[in-house]
Amino acid sequence: MATVTFSSSSSFMDKFSQLNVPFVPPRTLSKRFRDSTRCELTESLQYSGTNGKPFSFQSEPIFPKPSSFLLRSNKEPERKSDTRLRLFSGTANPSLSQEIAHYMGLDLGKITIKHFADDEIYVQLQESVRGCDVFLIQPTCSPVNENLMELLIMIDACRRASSKTVTAVIPYFGYARADRKTQGRESIAAKLVANMITSAGADRVLACDLHSKQTEGYFDISVDHVYGQPVILDYLASKMVYHGDMVVVSPDVGGVARARGFAKKLSDAPLAIVDKRRQGHNVSEVMNLIGDVKGKVAILVDDMIDTAGTITNAAALLQREGAREVIACCTHAVFSPPAIERLSSGLFQEVIVTNTIPVAQSNYFPQLTILSVANLLAETIWRVHGNSSVSSIFQ
């Protein structure tokens, strides 16, 4: 069937009315920021907040709300008819992939992923991607090696299916902490993984909150680095806390830049720093506190919580220094044992994370709040596909 692109000129419309062909209305490749109302997903996609209940938000926070954060809409997403954009999900975090597709008004592509008897991974696309911009959504979380290999094979399958471009959407980038040599004869695994993704055939990587900015330089392809902070800031802005009662705390010296940026966007809140000395991998010892937290709500900010050793030691120090409440905020909820026992020990009034990594229901505890980054990633995907600015999302 023939198609004609819509035009507003009257002469064209007179001629067009004589044709028996359908209109193809123009579409917008990139969505705009929504006004301050949250995205209402289907019931099966909702994430639980404190005590396993949906989040509740205050309508008028006392301190000024940050200007440009979470992307939301109360309306049902408009269905797009874009045959050049395809989304596929790996098995690492299918619920996040489904949320992203829902926000974009698209359906996830059909794909078969299975294991042979010897645990080899088999991937086959069930639809054509020839000439399409393909986005593969797959965090390389636990089991890290299996999810990473699955991503590599998915990239190879798309490349061999003649896709125009392949973008690896990696909400959580595994091996990111192995980004430098601290001792002799160590590997820099972050660079190795970057080389593997590039060699597999990816044209671009879209990652969320890399452990260090230098990781972007390990890739020989374009990297769009987005941050989960806007989602957490938007949630904190809804809480009825006077900004003069808050202090943003970095749990270690290496996270000072992250905490400073977080504090600046949170109504320029004061900053404190926990000085610690690491004795080994996943083992830390808190030494002292730089800054004043007495009688204040201390907001601990980090990019990830793994075994929770660093952040719980910091929380214990903050309580000894007189903090009224301690709230932990991080983008990636790795939650390796014994993280749940430490986080639920009573040191924290709330632990705020995002769904870049799926959190099993067995790991839920009363203080846990999970926020979704689906809208943030979906908006970024639209802008990458439409060759629009990504950095303007965070301005």
pLDDT at 244: 76
Range(s) of the domain holding residue 277: 229-371
Report how far apart, in Å, the C-alpha atoms of 332 and of each of 139, 151, 232 are: 10, 19, 12
Q: What is the pLDDT of residue 69?
A: 42
Residues 189 and 238 in one domain: no
User: Using an 8 Å Cβ cutoff, are 306 and 334 in contact?
Assistant: yes
Tell me the C-alpha distance between 108 and 53, whole Å: 28
- Do 149 and 167 contact (CB within 8 A), yes or no? no
Per DSSP, the three-state class of 189 is helix
Of 186, 207, 226, the position where a domain reaches its end is 226
Whether residues 193 and 257 share a domain: the answer is no
Please tell me the distance from the alpha carbon of residue 85 to that of residue 106, in angstroms, as a whole number: 9
A 10 A CB-CB count for 232 gives 25
Q: What is the DSSP letter of 371?
A: E
pLDDT in the model for residue 30:
40
Max Cα separation, the chain?
81
Asked whether residue 60 is assigned to any structural domain, the reply reads no
- Is 7 among the domain residues? no
Q: What angle do CA 71, 75, 77 make, to 5 degrees?
A: 75
Domain-located, residue 127: yes
Whether residues 195 and 233 share a domain: the answer is no
DSSP secondary structure of 274-342: EEEEEEETTEEEEEEEES--TTSEEEEEEEEESS-HHHHHHHHHHHHTT-SEEEEEEEEE---TTHHHH
Residues 206 and 329 in one domain: no
The answer for residues whose C-beta is within 8 angstroms of residue 90's C-beta and 6 or more apart is 97, 113, 136, 137, 138, 147, 150, 151, 154
pLDDT attached to residue 287: 75
CA gap 11, 282 in Å, rounded = 71
Residue 35 lies in a domain: no
Answer yes or no: do 260 and 347 share one domain. Answer: yes
Q: In the chain, how many domains are there?
A: 2
Final residue belonging to a domain, choices 226, 254, 282: 226
- pTM of this prediction? 0.78
Q: What share of the chain is helix, strand, coil (3-state, %, to 5)?
A: 30, 25, 45
Q: Is residue 119 part of a domain?
A: yes
Q: Which CATH number goes with the domain that contains 126?
A: 3.40.50.2020
Tokens 């078969």 belong to residue: 112
pLDDT score of 282: 61
Indicate whether 197 and 298 sit together in one domain: no
Profile the chain (395 residues) by mean pLDDT over runs of 10 residues: 45 50 44 38 40 37 40 46 85 98 96 97 97 98 97 98 98 95 94 98 97 93 94 88 85 91 91 80 72 95 95 94 96 97 96 97 96 96 94 72
136 Cα distance to chain centroid: 14
Report the C-alpha gap between 115 and 205 in whole angstroms.
Answer: 25
User: Could you count the other beta carbons within 10 Å of the beta carbon of residue 277?
Assistant: 9
Q: Which residues contact 299 (CB under 8 A, 6 or more apart)?
A: 236, 246, 247, 248, 249, 262, 266, 269, 327, 329
Report the pLDDT value the prediction gives residue 209, as an integer from 0 to 100: 95
